[in-house]
Chain A
Amino acid sequence: MEQLKTIGRELAMGSQGGFGQSKEFLDLIKSIGETRSKNEEDRIVLREIETLKTRLANPNTPKFKLKEYLIRLLYVEMLGHDASFGYIYAVKMTHDENLLFKRTGYLAVTLFLNEDHDLIILIVNTIQKDLRSDNYLVVCAALNAVCRLINEETIPAVLPQVVELLGHQKEAVRKKAVMALHRFYQRAPGSVSHLISNFRKRLSDSDPGVMGATLCPLFDLITTDVNAYKDLVISFVNILKQVAERRLPKSFDYRQMPAPFIQIKLLKILGLLGNGDKKASEHMYTIVGDIMKKFDSTSNIGNAVLYECICCISSIHPNPKLLEAAADAISKFLKSDSHNMKYLGIDALGRLTKISPEIAEQHQLAVIDCLEDPDDTLKRKTFELLYKMTKSSNVEVIVNRMIDYMININDNHYKTEIASRCIELAEQFAPSNQWFIQTMNKVFEHAGDLVNAKVAHNLMRLIAEGFGEDDDTADSQLRSSAVESYLHIIGEPKLPSAFLQVICWILGEYGTADGKYSASYISGRLCDVAEAHSTDDIVKAYAVTALGKIYSFEIAAGRKAEVLPECESLIEELLASHSTDLQQRAYEVQAIVGLDAHAVENIMPMDASCEDIEIDKSLSFLDGYIQQAIEKGAQPYVSESERSGMSNISNFKSQEQHESLMHSLRFEAYELPKSSMAPHVPPVLASSTELVPVPNPYNHTEVHYSATPMPSVSNAGSSELKLRLDGVQKKWGRPSYSSPVPSTSNNDAPKIQNGTTQRDSVGSANSKARDVSYDSRKPQVEISPEKQKLAASLFGGPSKSDRRQSSSSQKVPKNNSHSANKSHVEKTATSDTVAVKTSQPPQDLLDLGEPTGTSIPPSLDPFKQLEGLLDLTQDSTTLNTGGGSGTDAPDIMSLYADMSLSGQGNENPLSTGNDSASLLSGFSDAANRNGHGVNTVPQLTQQLSKGQNHKDSLEKDALVRQMGVTPSGQNPNLFKDLLG
C-alpha cells in the first residue's frame, strides 16, 4: 500500500516536475505530504530549516535555486516555524530583474513581514523603482506589495506614483492602483482625503474589472459618510441595471449569473445609500424588484444575490411590493432542506422583522425547528433572531432558552455574548422582579466570571432599591425571595466570584430581615462561604462585612449577637490577615459586636443602603467636644502637613487636579516646600460639608483616620462616620471599601443537611431546565404541541398566564428523558421524512401526529389550547416511553434509513441543473450519492441498501485519490467530481 502511494506521487511529479523544480524540492514536498503526525512534520521542517540556513548562506547560489529556497521557507513558516533567518533573502529577491523571481520575492515578503517590520524600509526603494517600470506586470507586482507593506509613514513615498498609475493604460494596473489607494485610506484616511474624487472617476472606468474593484473603497467611504455620496445613487442603479442585463463581458459570469459578486457589492452599497432616505430608495425599487424576479433559485450564487436583495430591501425605505417579494423569498429559504438556506432565511427574517414584525409569525414553526436543530451555527443564528424580536410578552421564554443554551456551551467567547444579551433583555423587559432575580442568578451562576462587574452592582442596587414603585411589601418580598434563592445556591461548588459577592451582600443586608432565618443560620452560611473561598480576598471581605451587618441588626433589635465559634475563628484569622482591608473589616466587626444597641443602630440602620448620605467632612459635630477639650487646656490640633513641614497637601492635590484638567505635562519644577497657606485648617476641611455622591474612598478613609487622633471620640460618633462611608459604597462603590458590620454564626449539623437537600433540589431543577431544552426532540406526537406551545409563547403569547402555563408544561416531558436519545432520532427522522414527502404547509406537520384539535392556530385561544397540549404531551409521553424501551430497535433502524434517504432527497432541489449537480458532488467524498435522489419509497430502500456499498466504494475512491494523485492520464476521474 505504502509503495503504491509512493508510485502515485512519483507519477504525479513526473507530470508536474520539470518547471525548474529540483528533485530535492519534490522530495521535500512529498515527505511533507506523506506525514501522518504533527511530530513527524515538525522533524522534517526542523531538518529543512538547518538545510536552508547553510544553503542560503552560500553566496554562489544560482537564482532559480534561491527562488526554490524561498518557497521552501514559505513552507517552514506556513507549517508554524520561524523562518526569520531567511527574510533578508526574500527582500533581496525583490530586486531581481526577472519578473517571476521578483514576484516570488514580493510574495514571500508580503507573507513574512507585517507592515511595521524593520526590513520594509529596504523594500520601499525597490517598490518605487518598480512602480515606474515599463513592464506592467512588474508594476502590478509592486502594487500588490504596496497593498500589503506600506504603512502610514511610508505612504508619502509612493503616493504620487500610485495616483499617476490610476490613469495607466492597462486596466490591471488601474485596478490595483485603486486598491492601493483604498489601502492607504484604510490605514490613514487623512493621507488620501484629497484624492477621494479619483474613486468616483474610476467608477466610470471603461473596464468593468476596474469599476468592480472601485466599489470596495466606495463601500468603505459610504459607510463612514453616506450623505456625501447621495449623488451617486443613480449611477449605482444604472450600473446594477447594466450588470443585470448582462452588459458585462461573459468572463464575469458565474454559474450563468451576470457578475454576481459585483451585483452583491452594488446591492450592499444601495442598502447603505437608501437607508432612511425615501427619495434615494425610490430610484432603487425597480431594479431590485427586477433582480428578484429574475433570480435563479437553483444555484447557491442565485440565492446569495437574492439574500443580498432582501438585505437591501430591509435597509432602504420600505416598499410594500418589495417587502412582499422579500417575505416570499424568505419563506423559500426557510422551507429549503439546505441548512445554508435556512441560515440565510433566519438571518433575513431578523432583518425584516424590524420593518414588519408580523413576518416572523408566519414562520414560527420553521424558526423553532432551527432553534432546536443540533447544528450550532443555525441555533445561534436563531438566537440572534429571537434577540431581535424580544418584547415584554415573550422575554421569559426567550431568555430561558438562551440560558439553557448558555449553560451547555464551552465557548467562552460566545458565552460572554449570550450572557450579556440575556442580561440586556432581562433588564429591558423583565416582567417581574422575581423573574429578573432568578434570571440574573442563573446567568451569574454559569457565566459570572465572564460578565461585566457592573452587572453585579446593578443587581445589588436593584434588590436594594426595588423596582421604583413605592410598594414596600413588594420590595420586601423581592428581597426575601432573593435571600431564599441565594441560600439555595450558596452551597454549589464553583460559583463565580462576582456572584458570591452579590450573595454575601444580599445575605448581610436582608438575610434576617423577614425573620424567616435566624441570624446564626445566616452567619453560619456566610462563614462557610468565606472558608470555602479562602483564596478570594474580595469574597472574604464581602462575607465578613455581611457578618458584621447581621450582628449589628441582631444587637439593634435588642437581642444578643451570638457569635458562632467558627465565625469567631474566622474573624480571629482575618485580624491577622495580610490584607489590610480584611484586617480592618475584621476589627470593625469585632468592635461592633461589643457595642450597645443604640450605638449599633446608628452605625448600621436597617435597610439604609439606598439612603443618600451626607458627609460632614469638616467633622463639625466634634466642635463642641474640641471646644471643651481646649478649655480644659488641651493643645489645639496641628495638621499633619504642618507637623511634618511638608507643603500643604490640599494645595498639592489641587495642583494635581489642575494639571490633569489641563491635560498637559508640567514643566516647571515644583516649588519648595512652604508652610501651608491655610495653616489652621486641616486640608480636608477646605471642602466643607457637601453631599458626596461618589466619593473617592481613599480620601475619606484618610479623613477618617487623620481625624481620629482625638482620642475619646464617642463610639457612636466614629462609627457613624464609618457608617456613612459604608452606605456610599454599597450603592456605587468598589467592594473593597464597604466596611459594614458583623454578626455571628456557624452552621450546626442539621442546617448543613438542610443545605444539602436544598442543593439537591437545585440540582434537579437544573436538570429539569436542561430537559426542557431537549424535550422538544422527543417523539413526534408530542413535538407538535411542544412546538406550537413554544411558538405561541414566542410569537403570539399575549397574556402572562399563557406564558407561565407554557413554561410549566415544558417540564412535563422530563420523565421521558431516559429515552431521549432514541426519541431524538425518531424526531429528526420523522420530521425529515415528512419534509421530503411533501411541501405541505407547516401546520400539516402538526396534524400528522395529533389526534386532537391541537392544531388550532395559536392565536385563537392560546391558554385553552395550551391546556390541551399539556394533556396530550403527558399521554404521548407515556405511550412513547412504553414503546420505545422494548421493541423499537428495527424501527429505529428504519428511521436512520429514512434520515439518510431524506438527506439524499435534500440535495435534490438544489441540483436540478447538471452543472450544479456536479458542483454539489464536489462537496465531499461522500457526495456521489447525489444525483440518484429519488423520492418514491421502494427506490429509496434500494438505495439504502446500496448505501453501504456506496460508502465502501467512496472510501476506496478516497484512498485511490490519496495515492495516485496524478491529474493527467493516470487517474482521469480524479477530482472529476470536484468540478464537473
Chain B
Amino acid sequence: MGIRFVLMVNKQGQTRLAQYYEYLTLEERRALEGEIVRKCLARNEQQCSFVEHRNYKIVYRRYASLFFLVGVDNEENELAILEFIHLLVETMDRHFGNVCELDIMFHLEKAHFMLEEMVMNGCIVETSKSNILSPIQLMEKAS
C-alpha cells in the first residue's frame, strides 16, 4: 500500500492538511497527529528524517514553520519519499509562487487536489509537475 497518510502540521502542532489512505476514526487521527508531531519536534536536524511510530515509518521534512509528514509502511524507499515531499512542495510552489503556510490554509482544497493527482491508493502515480497542475489550472479557468 505504500503511503498511509500525508500530513502537514505546523510547529505548534496544528494540522494544516491531512489526507489518510486508510480509515482512521477522528479520535485516532487526532491522537496520531499529536504523537507524531511531538516525536518529530523532539528531533534535531542532524538526525534522520525518518522516525518509527507504532507500525508506521514517518518520513518528515520541515519547511520553515511547517512539517510535512508522510506515513509509509516498511516497503517504501524512505529517501525517495523524502524527495517526494520536496516534489510536492515544489509543485505547490509553482502553482502559488513562493508557497507558504497561509497559501495552504487559504487554498486547502487546491492543496488537496494536487495531492489527489500525485497519490492514489497510497501509491505515487504522477511526478510530472505539468501533469499534476494542468487539471487544476483548467478547472480554475473554467470557473
Partners in one complex: yes
| A598 nearest CB across to chain B (Å) | 59
The listed residue (B14, B15, B101) touching A965 by CB distance below 8 A is: B101
Interface size on B, residues (CB 8 A): 74
| B114 nearest CB across to chain A (Å) | 11
The listed residue (B84, B90, B121, B131) touching A182 by CB distance below 8 A is: B121
The answer on a CB contact under 8 Å between B89 and A978 is yes
The answer on a CB contact under 8 Å between B64 and A958 is yes
The answer on a CB contact under 8 Å between B77 and A16 is no
Query: Does A119 sit at the interface, judged by CB under 8 A?
Result: no
The listed residue (B47, B52, B121, B129) touching A179 by CB distance below 8 A is: B121
The listed residue (A99, A301, A378) touching B48 by CB distance below 8 A is: A378
Task: Kindly state the separation between the CA atoms of A339 and B48 in the bound complex, as whole angstroms.
Answer: 5
* Interface 9-residue window, one of A208-216, A493-501, A655-663: A208-216
Task: Kindly state the separation between the CA atoms of A955 and B77 in the bound complex, as whole angstroms.
Answer: 34
Task: Kindly state the separation between the CA atoms of A340 and B77 in the bound complex, as whole angstroms.
Answer: 12
| A842 nearest CB across to chain B (Å) | 20
The answer on a CB contact under 8 Å between B121 and A147 is yes
Task: Give B83's nearest chain A residue, CB to CB.
Answer: A301
Query: Does B78 sit at the interface, judged by CB under 8 A?
Result: yes
Query: Does A753 sit at the interface, judged by CB under 8 A?
Result: no
- A99-B139, A308-B77 known; A77 vs B26 contact (CB < 8 Å): yes
The answer on a CB contact under 8 Å between B78 and A958 is no
The answer on a CB contact under 8 Å between A137 and B127 is no
| A418 nearest CB across to chain B (Å) | 11
- A344-B78, A926-B45 known; A35 vs B102 contact (CB < 8 Å): no
| A659 nearest CB across to chain B (Å) | 37
The answer on a CB contact under 8 Å between A974 and B98 is yes
| A192 nearest CB across to chain B (Å) | 13
- A172-B135, A254-B127, A906-B46 known; A965 vs B102 contact (CB < 8 Å): yes
Task: Kindly state the separation between the CA atoms of A676 and B42 in the bound complex, as whole angstroms.
Answer: 73
Mark contacts of B68-106 with chain A using CB atoms, 8 A cut-off: 1 yes-contact digit, 0 otherwise: 000000010111101110110110010011111111011
Chain A residues contacting B129 (CB-CB under 8 Å) are: 251
Query: Does A262 sit at the interface, judged by CB under 8 A?
Result: yes
Residue of A41, A75, A304 with highest tally of chain B CB at under 10 A: A304
Interface residues of A in 283-336 (CB under 8 A from B): 300-301, 303-305, 307-308, 311
| B99 nearest CB across to chain A (Å) | 7
* Interface 9-residue window, one of A26-34, A54-62, A744-752: A26-34
Task: Kindly state the separation between the CA atoms of A16 and B107 in the bound complex, as whole angstroms.
Answer: 9
Task: Kindly state the separation between the CA atoms of A348 and B17 in the bound complex, as whole angstroms.
Answer: 33
The listed residue (B14, B116, B127) touching A107 by CB distance below 8 A is: B116
* Interface 9-residue window, one of A439-447, A735-743, A833-841, A917-925: A917-925
Chain A residues contacting B15 (CB-CB under 8 Å) are: 78-80
Task: Kindly state the separation between the CA atoms of A114 and B52 in the bound complex, as whole angstroms.
Answer: 26
The answer on a CB contact under 8 Å between A377 and B79 is no
The listed residue (A79, A144, A311) touching B120 by CB distance below 8 A is: A144
| A845 nearest CB across to chain B (Å) | 19
Query: Does A429 sit at the interface, judged by CB under 8 A?
Result: no
Task: Give B61's nearest chain A residue, CB to CB.
Answer: A923
| A208 nearest CB across to chain B (Å) | 8
Query: Does A238 sit at the interface, judged by CB under 8 A?
Result: no
Mark contacts of A81-116 with chain B using CB atoms, 8 A cut-off: 1 yes-contact digit, 0 otherwise: 110000000000000001110011001000100110
| A38 nearest CB across to chain B (Å) | 8
Chain B residues contacting A35 (CB-CB under 8 Å) are: 14
Chain A residues contacting B93 (CB-CB under 8 Å) are: 975, 978-979
Task: Give B31's nearest chain A residue, CB to CB.
Answer: A80
The answer on a CB contact under 8 Å between B46 and A339 is yes
Task: Kindly state the separation between the CA atoms of A275 and B50 in the bound complex, as whole angstroms.
Answer: 28
The answer on a CB contact under 8 Å between A978 and B125 is no
The listed residue (B45, B84, B121, B140) touching A924 by CB distance below 8 A is: B45
The answer on a CB contact under 8 Å between A13 and B106 is yes
- A75-B108, A82-B26, A304-B83 known; A252 vs B52 contact (CB < 8 Å): no
Task: Kindly state the separation between the CA atoms of A414 and B52 in the bound complex, as whole angstroms.
Answer: 9
Chain B residues contacting A16 (CB-CB under 8 Å) are: 102-103, 106-107
The answer on a CB contact under 8 Å between A137 and B139 is yes
The answer on a CB contact under 8 Å between B143 and A98 is yes
Task: Kindly state the separation between the CA atoms of A254 and B87 in the bound complex, as whole angstroms.
Answer: 8
Query: Does A961 sit at the interface, judged by CB under 8 A?
Result: yes
Task: Kindly state the separation between the CA atoms of A154 and B86 in the bound complex, as whole angstroms.
Answer: 36
Task: Give A259's nearest chain B residue, CB to CB.
Answer: B127
Query: Does A176 sit at the interface, judged by CB under 8 A?
Result: yes
Chain B residues contacting A380 (CB-CB under 8 Å) are: 52
The answer on a CB contact under 8 Å between B101 and A340 is no
Prevailing SS type, chain A contact patch: helix
Query: Does A976 sit at the interface, judged by CB under 8 A?
Result: yes
Chain B residues contacting A107 (CB-CB under 8 Å) are: 109, 112-113, 116
Query: Does A730 sit at the interface, judged by CB under 8 A?
Result: no
Chain B residues contacting A268 (CB-CB under 8 Å) are: 75, 77
Chain B residues contacting A308 (CB-CB under 8 Å) are: 77, 80
The answer on a CB contact under 8 Å between A21 and B62 is no
Query: Does A422 sit at the interface, judged by CB under 8 A?
Result: no
- A147-B121, A179-B121 known; A209 vs B105 contact (CB < 8 Å): no
Task: Give B55's nearest chain A residue, CB to CB.
Answer: A413
The answer on a CB contact under 8 Å between B79 and A340 is yes
Task: Give B130's nearest chain A residue, CB to CB.
Answer: A251
The answer on a CB contact under 8 Å between B54 and A262 is no
- A99-B139, A172-B131, A254-B83 known; A377 vs B100 contact (CB < 8 Å): no
Mark contacts of A232-251 with chain B using CB atoms, 8 A cut-off: 1 yes-contact digit, 0 otherwise: 00000000000000000101
Chain A residues contacting B135 (CB-CB under 8 Å) are: 137, 140, 172
Mark contacts of A218-239 with chain B using CB atoms, 8 A cut-off: 1 yes-contact digit, 0 otherwise: 0000000000000000000000
Task: Kindly state the separation between the CA atoms of A409 and B143 in the bound complex, as whole angstroms.
Answer: 55
Task: Give B51's nearest chain A residue, CB to CB.
Answer: A377
Task: Give A919's nearest chain B residue, CB to CB.
Answer: B86
The listed residue (B48, B101, B120) touching A343 by CB distance below 8 A is: B48
Chain B residues contacting A82 (CB-CB under 8 Å) are: 26
| A513 nearest CB across to chain B (Å) | 45
The answer on a CB contact under 8 Å between A36 and B98 is no
- A377-B51, A377-B52, A378-B48 known; A340 vs B106 contact (CB < 8 Å): no
Mark contacts of B107-143 with chain A using CB atoms, 8 A cut-off: 1 yes-contact digit, 0 otherwise: 1110011001000110111111111000100111011
The listed residue (A74, A378, A979) touching B108 by CB distance below 8 A is: A74
Task: Give B59's nearest chain A residue, CB to CB.
Answer: A340
Task: Give B93's nearest chain A residue, CB to CB.
Answer: A979
Query: Does A903 sit at the interface, judged by CB under 8 A?
Result: yes
The answer on a CB contact under 8 Å between B80 and A260 is yes
Task: Give A979's nearest chain B residue, CB to CB.
Answer: B93
Chain B residues contacting A126 (CB-CB under 8 Å) are: none
Chain B residues contacting A375 (CB-CB under 8 Å) are: 43, 46-48
Task: Give B128's nearest chain A residue, CB to CB.
Answer: A251
| A143 nearest CB across to chain B (Å) | 9
The answer on a CB contact under 8 Å between A209 and B143 is no
The answer on a CB contact under 8 Å between A176 and B55 is no
- A71-B108, A71-B109, A978-B89 known; A339 vs B47 contact (CB < 8 Å): yes
Query: Does A420 sit at the interface, judged by CB under 8 A?
Result: no
Residue of A78, A340, A376 with highest tally of chain B CB at under 10 A: A78
Task: Kindly state the separation between the CA atoms of A339 and B47 in the bound complex, as whole angstroms.
Answer: 6
27 of the cross-chain contacts (CB-CB < 8 Å) are: A29-B105, A32-B14, A33-B101, A33-B102, A78-B15, A79-B15, A80-B15, A100-B143, A103-B113, A103-B139, A179-B121, A179-B123, A212-B125, A212-B126, A213-B126, A251-B130, A260-B83, A261-B124, A301-B83, A311-B77, A377-B50, A413-B54, A923-B61, A924-B62, A924-B63, A965-B100, A968-B97
Q: Which 8 A-B pairs have the closest CB atoms?
A: A304-B79, A216-B123, A967-B98, A251-B128, A114-B23, A304-B80, A80-B30, A100-B143
Given contacts A254-B83, A922-B63, 8 further A-B contacts (CB under 8 A): A17-B106, A103-B113, A114-B23, A175-B125, A344-B78, A375-B47, A975-B98, A979-B98
| Chain B interface residues (CB < 8 Å from chain A) | 1, 12-15, 17-19, 23, 26, 29-30, 43, 45-52, 54-55, 61-65, 75, 77-80, 82-84, 86-87, 89-90, 93, 96-103, 105-109, 112-113, 116, 120-121, 123-131, 135, 138-140, 142-143
